[in-house]
């Protein structure tokens, strides 16, 4: 992940619900692949500075996520807090102490509609820009990693590809909006199976999206993203509606 995307997730939380928002922000970094399985989180001190909270708040959030199976602590010279190699499956909302009601059809349609607005718009903006060589390489790398991912990593790396496109839109405030929406969509995706044929088709669509962005063909980029999102929406509606 780039410094810009990391800054989006490791930014100050609002003081009223500091613990809950710290947990939420850390969960986003984990579940959306900003910090990948096996990778180390920044230190408690650095997280406290970035989130503008106390170290006690960070420590409590890390302990809660460790108890929920997302993080582990290692001692010694190479110690620290690490994301577990295999993430828990299913909803993560119970971590902060509550129980989440199952989302209904209206929740699904709301998340899908917002996703289309945000991600098609991001795609258009990215295709309109003249991307630098490092930006183009980041996009190709995200595409390649997604296309080569196994089932256990696919949704995490798929999320990273979509976040990279949002970042390349050039609108900094768009990235956290896409991230929040992606968390909502992934909540639904976790409840349906990964279908090999759909993964292969999604990879083809990803390539079409990325190729159009890099070629600067705005209409094709937006159309490819619309088609890609429509396919995911159809599967979700089929399994969950």
* pLDDT value at residue 31: 80
Using a pLDDT cut of 90, give the percent of the chain over it: 54
pLDDT at 97 over 90: no
Looking at the predicted structure, is the pLDDT value of residue 203 above 50? yes
Is the model's pLDDT at 158 over the cut of 60? yes
Both 152 and 203 in one domain: the answer is yes
Residues in contact with 51: Cβ distance below 8 Å, sequence separation at least 6, in sequence order: 10, 11, 12, 13, 18, 21, 22, 25, 57, 58
**For 241, which DSSP code?**
-
Write down the pTM of the prediction.
0.75
**Residues 128 and 202 grouped into a single domain:** yes
> Looking at residues 169-176, what average pLDDT do you find?
93
Q: Which of 58-72, 95-109, 184-198 has the lowest mean pLDDT?
A: 95-109
Among 36, 70, 96, the domain boundary falls at 96
Note whether 50 and 137 are same-domain residues.
no
Q: State the Cα angle at 151 between 8 and 10, rounded to 5°.
A: 10
Residue 90 and residue 180 in one domain: no
Mean pLDDT of all residues in 36-46? 92
Could you say which of 96, 114, 145 is where a domain stops?
A: 96
Kindly state the average pLDDT of the residues 119-147.
Answer: 97
* Sequence-ordered list of residues with C-beta below 8 angstroms from that of 66, at least 6 positions apart, any chain: 72, 73, 81
State whether 76 and 144 are in the same domain.
Answer: no
Question: Where residue 103 falls among pLDDT bands split at 50, 70, 90?
Answer: low
Torsion of CA 92, 83, 6, 228, to 10 degrees: -60
Domain shared by 114 and 193, yes or no: yes
Instruction: Name 178's Cβ contacts closer than 8 Å, sequence gap at least 6.
Output: 118, 119, 122, 162, 163, 166
Choice among 3-7, 142-146, 214-218, 236-240 with the minimum mean pLDDT: 3-7
How confident is the model at residue 95, as a pLDDT? 47
> Does residue 19 sit in the same domain as residue 132?
no
As given in the structure block, the two tokens for residue 156 are 């995490």
R_g of the chain computed on alpha carbons: 18
Q: What is the CATH number of the domain that holds 165?
A: 1.20.120.530
Beta strands in the chain (DSSP E): 71-74, 80-83
Range of the domain at 85: 3-96
Task: Judge whether residue 238 has pLDDT over 80.
Answer: no
């Amino acid at each position: 992940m780039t410094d810009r995307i990391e800054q989006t997730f490791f930014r100050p939380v609002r003081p009223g619900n500091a613990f809950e928002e710290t947990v939420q922000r850390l969960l986003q970094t984990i579940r959306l692949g900003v910090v990948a399985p096996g990778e180390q989180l920044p230190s408690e001190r650095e997280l406290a500075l970035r989130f503008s909270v106390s170290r006690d708040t960070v420590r409590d959030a890390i302990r809660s996520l460790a108890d929920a199976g997302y993080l582990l602590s290692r001692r010694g010279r190479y110690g620290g807090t690490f994301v577990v190699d295999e993430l828990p499956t299913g909803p993560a909302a119970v971590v902060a102490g509550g129980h989440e009601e199952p989302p209904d059809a209206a929740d699904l349609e709301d998340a899908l509609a917002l996703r289309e607005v945000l991600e098609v718009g991001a795609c258009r903006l990215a295709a309109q820009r003249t991307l630098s060589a490092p930006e183009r390489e980041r996009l190709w790398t995200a595409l390649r990693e997604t296309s080569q991912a196994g089932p256990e990593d696919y949704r995490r790396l798929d999320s990273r590809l979509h976040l990279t496109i949002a970042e390349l839109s050039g609108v900094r405030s768009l990235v956290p909006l896409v991230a929040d929406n992606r968390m909502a969509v992934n909540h639904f995706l976790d409840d349906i199976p990964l279908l090999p044929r759909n993964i292969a088709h999604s990879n083809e669509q990803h390539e079409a999206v990325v190729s159009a962005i890099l070629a600067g063909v705005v209409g094709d980029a937006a159309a490819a993203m619309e088609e890609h999102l429509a396919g995911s929406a159809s599967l979700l509606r089929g399994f969950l509606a």
